[in-house]
Structure formats: structure tokens, C-alpha cells
Structure 1
């Protein structure tokens, strides 16, 4: 049986703990193992941090809507914002072989999300804004 819950909070860094707890409870309710629960936490936190910093350009300039959908296969998390459009195709691939000294700060968020989750999809539409859908399946490698 599918269940779905949605949480909407202001785009502030102090909202991250509440959103993370919301996603954690959903992941646990979906029956994900502890490693998969942690992967969901990390991916949701990274996505929401990026929304605050990049989509809205700072705190309190919009809202973050997080929907957690539990089904027999696992968990789907849908995160929406009305910030600047995001096109993952223009994000350069990180140089994972560069030394820490040579690597510029940031740029690993999308890479980490794709490594942590089983599916990662981005969409943008003028009427619905940015929509990130991430999926974690039961029993899938974390």
C-alpha cells in the first residue's frame, strides 16, 4: 500500500534538520536498511542545501516542499522549489582525481546524490518550478 506525506518549510538552513528528520522517518517506515536510510538523509540534505544556496540565492527567499512516497519497493522523495531553474546537464563532472588543494570547493553534490540513490531525476517547468525526484529501493546497494 502506498502512503504519501508532504512537508513545506521556508528555505532556511535551520529547516534542514526538520526536513532531514521527516525524510529519515519515511525511509525507516519504508523498511530501508540503516545504510539506505543514511543515504536518503545525505541526499535530501544536499539537495535542500543546494536549493537554499543556489536556487534561491540565500535563506528565506522561498519555500522547499518535500514529499515522501512509501511503496512496496521503497521510498520516493520529491523535492520542489520555485527558485532559479536548475539544469543538471550544465554541471561539470567533478575531477575526482584532483588533489584536495587543486579541487575548488563544492561541485560534488550532484555526484554524491547519484552515487547514494537508485534514481535521480530533475525537471523544470515554469508553473511547477524545479522538481527533484530521488528513489531508494529496498535491498538495493547503497
Structure 2
């Protein structure tokens, strides 16, 4: 039977820390190694920051539903927002260019390097972001 936890957080950057903290405890309670916990904290932080900045355009009155699921040694993060649907084809991870460093824009690249699967599903209202990480 899967272990599942849901969390509803306001769309405030200051609340990303709370969502990460809850996820960290959830992962440790499920026997996850520290390296996975640290990687998933980065992933969740990037996803929530992108939702707040791009989908909600900084509007702090919105809500985000974050779910953590552990099933058969596979960890899932599901992030449900209620902003404008995102076109997944526009979410291209750009690798760092050391010759021409840019300000920001590395989040998707990092997520793709760390997660086993990352996808964003546009819905009628909002989006569902799904991350999968095998613990085996």
C-alpha cells in the first residue's frame, strides 16, 4: 500500500521551505537516503518557485497542492496549481553554457538531471507536475 501525504501551501516563496521540510520528513520516515532527500528538495523548490513566478505571476493569494507518494521504493512528487495551463513543449532544459553564463534558467536542467521522470500535464484549469524518482 502506498504512503501518501498531501499539503496545501499558499503561493508565497517563503512557504517553499515548509513544503520542502514536510517532504524531507516524509522521505526520511520512508527510509530514503540523504542524497535522494537533498536532490528532491532542490527539485521541489524549483517546481514551486516556477509555479509562483511563471504560472501565478507572483500572485501570493493562490494555493498549490503538493502530494508526496511512496510506492514500491519509488517516490513521486505531484504539484497541482490552478494558474494558466502550460505548454509542455516549451519546457526545454537548457544546459549551462560556461562561455556565456546566464542569469537563472537552470531549474529545469537540474530537475532533468536529478529526477527519473519529469512532466507537466496541462489541465482545464491549471497544471499537474509529476516527478518520479526510484530509490533502488
In the superposition, the TM-score normalised over structure 1's length comes to: 0.87
For 1:88 and 1:53, locate their aligned partners in 2 and report how far apart those are by CA, in whole Å. Answer: 16
Residue number in structure 1 paired with 2:134: 137
Residue number in structure 2 paired with 1:21: 21
In the alignment, structure 1 residue 51 sits paired with structure 2 residue 51: yes
Structure 1 runs (4+) greater than 4 angstroms displaced: none
Q: How well do the aligned residues superpose, as a CA RMSD in angstroms?
A: 1.6
Distance 1:30 1:75, change over 3 A: farther
For 2:104 and 2:93, locate their aligned partners in 1 and report how far apart those are by CA, in whole Å. Answer: 12
Instruction: State the Cα distance separating 1:94 from its structure 2 match.
Output: 1.8
Give the SS at the match of 1:111.
helix
For 2:25 and 2:11, locate their aligned partners in 1 and report how far apart those are by CA, in whole Å. Answer: 21
Residue number in structure 1 paired with 2:123: 125
Residues 88, 119 of structure 2: 8 Å contact kept: no
CA displacement, residues 55-113 of structure 1 (integer Å, 9 cap, x when unaligned):
100041411110011112231110010112222321344252343xx333222111111
Residue number in structure 2 paired with 1:3: 3
For 2:52 and 2:28, locate their aligned partners in 1 and report how far apart those are by CA, in whole Å. Answer: 26
Distance 1:74 1:92, change over 3 A: closer
Gapped regions of structure 2 (runs ≥ 5): none
Matched pairs, number: 136
For 2:21 and 2:93, locate their aligned partners in 1 and report how far apart those are by CA, in whole Å. Answer: 30
Gapped regions of structure 1 (runs ≥ 5): none
Residues 32, 137 of structure 1: 8 Å contact kept: no
